Structure 1
Amino acid sequence: MSTQLHYDIVGSFLRPAALKQAREQFARGELDQAGLTKVEDAAIKDLVAKEAAAGLKVVTDGEFRRSYWHLDTFWGFGGIKHTTQARGYLFHDEETRNDSAQVSGKISFTGSHPDLAAFKYLKTLTDGTALIPRQSLPAPAQLYAELVRGPENVAALRKVYPTDDALFADLAKAYRDLILALYEAGCRDLKLDDCTWGMVVDDDFWSLMAGADFDRESLQAIYLKLNNAAIKDLPADLRVSTHVCRGNYHSTWAAKGGYGPVADYLLAQENVAAFYLEFDDDRSGDFAPLAKVPTEKEVVLGLVTSKRPALEEPEVLKARIKEASQYVPLAHLALSTQCGFASTEEGNQLTEAEQWAKIKLVIDVAKEVWPATK
């Protein structure tokens, strides 16, 4: 789809004031779930209309029902509970809230899930239109990384799964079952958001997560195995992609490093149709690792930052796209923002107007680089 359009988004949008207020009221017990859902529904309906008006053909619900891009999905599985840790995730200059996800039993898809319910509502807004509703999920590798984040999570994990074989099987099956349920609900565009690859390239960051003696090769083998097992033998008309970045929280970042150290696993072997890759600044390295991407796959270049309001120069973006085309044919490239605008409900430090200006820039430049773009 992105190679037809050559422009895209990652998925999350800044939460409108009314939604933020409703979530605060819900947290204080001043608004019940039905009341919160009503506000969410209205905000999502308005967002989809704005996405369509902006010229987007693939739309999302902005992740308006989530607090985090990843944890809410984890908490929706059977055998996973919401916990807190002594510290949050450590970002450059900031520390996040301290929520986490921990094993409490055998991991499974129970037949219902908040992301499934969210997609079903989004689908009602696109039915009868040419819009394509996309569902984003944090990747299976991301859930594994959370379950082994810190000694308490590891201890809880090992009480249920003494060895990894059963864990990997259950984790992949839970994801695959959720994906198939999404497919049955009409999902034909699924994106796996995955910061694990963007973190493991950074020795400094990952030594904090996995210990100073971490083995990058074994971690990559685990991530690849989990992700590929979850998306094995899916229906042919389900487009599965993955997005990789190095953290996105309140306009800050968590890791640095180019894609070279993970190219032989992620880019060469993950069985997705497209890679949405962060390339908005020097922390992401150069385009040379794109040579590892198989010839039939798409690369969506995240050249426009979602972290800062200043607009990139169109000529600079065009030059960078041309540079990337040395490694991936121009016909298989597309342009997007480097990440979403609100990976957590805090959101990045720009206004809604600035958010839409970024999207307009992406579309305008794409239509100049690829004149046949719809």
Structure 2
Amino acid sequence: MTTQTLQKIGFQHVGSFLRPEALKEARQSFAAGNITAEELEGVENAAITELVNKEVEAGLDVVTDGEFRRSYWHLDNFWGFDGVERFNYGEGYFFAHEETRDDSARLTGKLGFNADTHPFIQHFKFVKALADEAGVAAKITIPSPSQFYGELSRGVNVERIAEHYDSNEELFEDIKRVYHEEILALYNAGARTVQLDDCTWGLLVDPKFKDVYAATGFDINDLKRLYLDLNNGAIADLPDDLTINTHVCRGNYHSDWATSGGYDDVADELFGQENVTNYFLEYDSERAGGFAPLAKVSGDKQVVLGLITTKSGELEDKGTIIARIHEATKYLPLDRLWLSTQCGFASTEEGNILTDAQQWAKLQLVKEILDELWG
């Protein structure tokens, strides 16, 4: 492993961790009106402080707040923008075996970003202070701009676009603008690694969703170009010392999944043209396909193989994981590869079905393999 690659990536987790019971209970009490926002924040602060201590003890070079202040990996960020409201859609997202809660986000006006009111800026400042004290780096995960458009154009939500925008192109420019402003605000708060979590590419490769898109008048090739433009537009002209990761996922809810399909059909755009530094890629099951599309990863961009699943507590065989990494070197050299779990442990506050001890055992396995293969 080259020093340059190690400095860029380091041992880091995708993002979320299982919520402690005390935190879950506090969030329920707050929703019921039994505790104040300040009391809830106190519980969150204590839980995040304990989490960061555990991350440091586990050897992580880059820590997160576990997404402990969020209900969802994506919607909380959308709700922080001006011109967006939280509401109940009437049905959730349909995963392979479960339906999620039915929260969504829709427009109430033109999009705007305000660093003083968007909660993620202060959230990051808190974990950054903890990381600085511990001598490690901190990153923040946010949903991708393409994911934001996907929510705003979901079913009946799309009707709101025409109420507030004269054209889709005007909306696209505003999405890129508010994301760019958010990322710069995070940079000014000390962030040097921002990760765009993204399920939109996973939808485009799934056969059943291709049929859904076709039935609703969306063209897959048009969507590829749009998602690429939204994501690249948001991260254009950022400071040179800011690393942009992307994490490509196929759904992670209560140990369930939403989509299937290899990266082949989106590799040209996603791997060849998206202007990120590191790809965190789901590769924990056959639903993600093979490694051949990695040959299209352009320039000196790097791939973090998500070979360790967060969907179950069963610990993978180290030899099997190492063999898969060597298989991936047929398409990218080892010094452009790295290892992580396939996703976070709790993309929503429900969390996946495994224990706290099992999640840390998963990360210990990641570290053991990183040390063995890359030193």
TM-score, normalization: structure 1?
Answer: 0.97
SS of equivalent residue, structure 1 residue 127 = helix
1:118 is aligned, of 104, 107, 123, to 123
1:154 positional shift? 0.8
Instruction: Name the structure 1 match of 2:252.
Output: 248
* Aligned pair partner of 2:24 in 13, 16, 20: 20
- Aligned partner of 2:231 in structure 1 is 227
Contact 1:134–1:188 (8 Å) recurs in 2: yes
Q: Deviations over 1:325-363 (max 9, x none)?
A: 111110111000000000000000000000000000000
Task: Check conservation: 2:12, 2:63, Cα contact below 8 A.
Answer: no
The equivalent residue for 1:140 is: 145
Inter-CA distance 354–216: structure 2 relative to 1 (3 Å threshold): same
Conserved in 2, the CA contact under 8 Å of 1:275 and 1:299? yes
Q: Which has the larger displacement, 59-68 or 4-13?
A: 4-13
Higher relative contact order (CA 8 A, sep 6+): 1
Instruction: Find 2:370's aligned residue among 343, 366, 369.
Output: 366
Residue 8 of structure 1 is matched in structure 2 by 12
Aligned to 2:201: 197
Gaps of at least 5 residues in structure 2 are none
Structure 1 contact 68–343 (Cα < 8 Å) conserved: yes
Q: Label 1:46 to 1:128 Cα distance change in 2 as closer, same or farther (>3 A).
A: closer
Q: Deviations over 1:203-232 (max 9, x none)?
A: 203544673553111001110000001000
Identity of matched residues, %:
53
Shift of 1:162: 2.9
1:318 to 303, 317, 322: 322
Contact preservation (8 Å) 1:3, 1:298:
no
Query: How far is the alpha carbon of 1:8 from its aligned partner?
Result: 2.8
1:131 paired with 2:132, answer no
CA gap of 1:6–1:40, structure 2 versus 1, over 3 A, is closer
1:85 aligns with 2:89: yes
Cα distance in 1 between the residues matched to 2:350 and 2:126: 23
Structure 1 364/171 Cα, relative in aligned 2: closer, same or farther at 3 Å? same
Q: Are residues 1:273 and 2:267 paired?
A: no
Structure 2 CA distance, aligned partners of 1:31 and 1:210? 47
Query: How far apart, CA to CA, are the structure 2 residues paired with 1:138 and 1:275?
Result: 14
Q: Residue 210 and residue 171 in structure 1: after superposition, are their counterparts in 2 closer, same or farther (change >3 A)?
A: farther
Structure 1's consecutive aligned runs of 4 or more residues displaced over 2 angstroms after TM superposition are 1-8, 205-214
Deviation at 1:9, TM superposition (A): 1.2
- Alpha-carbon offset, residue 247 of structure 1: 0.2
Specify whether residues 352 and 72 from structure 1 end up closer, same or farther in structure 2 by C-alpha distance, changes over 3 A only: same
Aligned ranges for residues 147-166 of structure 1 at < 5 Å? 147-150=152-155, 152-166=156-170
TM-score by length of 2: 0.96
- Is 1:96 the counterpart of 2:100 in the alignment? yes
Q: Select between 324-333 and 53-62 the one with higher mean Cα deviation.
A: 324-333
Give the aligned residue type for 2:14.
V
1: CA distance, partners of 2:182 / 2:275: 18
Deviation at 1:130, TM superposition (A): 2.5
Q: Structure 2: how far apart are the matches of 1:232 and 1:212?
A: 31
Query: Match for residue 178 of structure 2?
Result: 174
2:113 alignment counterpart: 109
1:306 aligned onto 2:338: no
Cα distance in 2 between the residues matched to 1:306 and 1:348: 7
Residues of 1 paired with 2:213 and 2:357: CA distance? 36
Q: What SS does structure 1 have at the residue aligned with 2:195? A: strand
| Counterpart for residue 62 of structure 1 | 66
Matched residues, number: 370
* Aligned equivalents of 1:18, 1:142: Cα separation in 2: 31
Write out per-residue CA displacement over residues 221-250 of structure 1, whole angstroms, 9 at most, x where no aligned residue.
110000001000000000001000100000
Give the match's secondary structure for 2:266: helix
Counterpart contact for 1:8–1:334, Cα < 8 Å: no
Give the secondary-structure state (helix, strand or coil) at the position aligned to 1:243: strand
5 Å-filtered alignment, 1:44-55, equals 44-55=48-59
Letter in 1 for 2:23: L
Between 1:282-291 and 1:204-213, the stretch displaced more is 204-213
